Structure 1
Amino acid sequence: MKIDNLLTDEAVAAEMGVRLAQARIARAFTQAQLAAAAGVSKRTVERLEDGQPTQMAVLIRCLRALGLLENLERLLPAQPTNPMDLLRARRAPRQRVRSSAQVEHGVAEIPAKPWVWGDQR
């Protein structure tokens, strides 16, 4: 089964469980052996392979025990930082400077207090 956006969360978890079981069997591990290598209970491995909710740390431990942890790099590769984004983050927000023409014509006058409804004169 292909994992894509059309699948429900439960279907994705079930497929991941099937794939984890296939990887375990390909390495000739029993569930008990994988559990011991990962430092979790056999029941936890069973739940993970059944697609039931477990903690992410359990998946990471099982992938590490199966020698598959580095595959997560392909799943979520590090995103390179854009140098321009770094420069923008360092700069303080600039305030707009009013032109002298606006000040001379009274356009740039700042009211003494904010305008509220019913305050028209």
Structure 2
Amino acid sequence: MKIYPLLVDQAVTEEIGRRITAYRISRQMTQAAMAAEAGVSKRTVERLEAGEPTQLTNFIRCLRSLGRLEALELLLPELPPSPIAELERQGLPRQRVRSVGKKPARKKAWNWGDQK
């Protein structure tokens, strides 16, 4: 099943559990072996594979035991710095951009009787 935005949370966690099960089996690991390698209980692995709630740290440990921890980098890649942050990092001042075709403001306000 493809994970897409309209799926309810329970369906997403169940699909993640199915995928973790598939990776574990492809590595020819039992739930007990995976639990021992990840440093979690066998019950935690069972709950994770069933799509039940578990702690994020346990999920990370299980991904590490499956050799899939780097997949989190694809999930949430680091954002590049904003242009303003890059200027600040380089020690350059921010520059204001003037709209094209906009006339500069008058230095002195016009008053009645000033037309000479």
| TM-score (norm. length: structure 2) | 0.74
For these two proteins, the number of residue pairs brought into alignment is: 99
Mapped partners of 1:85, 1:37: distance in 2: 45
Mapped partners of 2:10, 2:25: distance in 1: 23
- Give 4+ residue runs of structure 1 displaced > 2 Å after superposition: 87-91, 99-102
**Deviation digits for residues 33-74 of structure 1 (CA, Å, limit 9, x no counterpart):** 000000000000000001011111111000101111111111
Correspondence list, 1:31-42, <5 A: 31-42=31-42
Structure 2, unpaired ranges of 5+? 94-105, 112-116
Which residue of structure 2 aligns with residue 54 of structure 1? 54
Mapped partners of 1:20, 1:26: distance in 2: 10
Structure 1, unpaired ranges of 5+? 92-98, 106-121
**Deviation digits for residues 3-30 of structure 1 (CA, Å, limit 9, x no counterpart):** 0001001100000000000000000000
Amino acid at match of 2:84: D
CA shift for structure 1 position 88: 6.7
3-state DSSP of counterpart to 1:52: coil
CA shift for structure 1 position 76: 1.3
Amino acid at match of 1:58: N
Identity, in percent, stands at 53
Which residue of structure 2 aligns with residue 7 of structure 1? 7
Amino acid at match of 2:8: T
**Deviation digits for residues 78-113 of structure 1 (CA, Å, limit 9, x no counterpart):** 11112x22147987xxxxxxx8646x98xxxxxxxx
Amino acid at match of 1:37: E
